[in-house]
Amino acid sequence: MPKITFVHEKKEIQVPEGANLRKEAQQAGINVYNGFNGVGAGLNKIFNCHGLGLCGTCRVLIVKGMENANPVTMSEKFKFKVPVPDPMPSMAYIGHEDTMRLACCVTVHGDMTVDTKPNIDLYGENFFS
């Protein structure tokens, strides 16, 4: 069984092969809806798309084990690669576009380390380019 290590929560859980990252995190009591650098986490926990890949509020950074996740979905490609406004600021410029994923779209196929509270770099070189 694959093992998921959550960095900020200092928690490890074992999940069945092919499990959904968002569902498993929620069952373990881990909040994947953290808002903008922590602001709005309470609201995002209530007002989200409930795993449909539409809102982008369940973004996580896969620190290790990206190869053990399913390929990036069309919804994620749109969220992280196309600079279009949506409920979240355009995520095409927040940094870590190659390892940032939406927890609701990730299927776990092996061990991985996940950062559930990745910061958005609003002042970095990518954001205003």
Taking residue 27's Cβ as centre, other Cβ atoms within 10 Å add up to 11
Does residue 122 form part of some domain? no
Note the pLDDT tens digit of each residue in 30-58.
Answer: 988 876 656 666 777 777 888 888 887 88
Domains in the chain, number: 1
Does residue 87 form part of some domain? yes
Q: What is the pTM of this model?
A: 0.81
Note the pLDDT tens digit of each residue in 7-32.
Answer: 999 999 999 999 999 999 999 999 88
Supply the CATH number for residue 10's domain: 3.10.20.30
Does residue 71 form part of some domain? yes
Note the pLDDT tens digit of each residue in 79-122.
Answer: 776 655 554 545 555 667 778 899 999 999 999 999 998 876 65
Q: According to DSSP H, which parts of the chain are helical?
A: 21-27, 41-46, 74-81
Does residue 125 form part of some domain? no
pLDDT of residue 117: 82
Its domain, for residue 29, covers 3-115
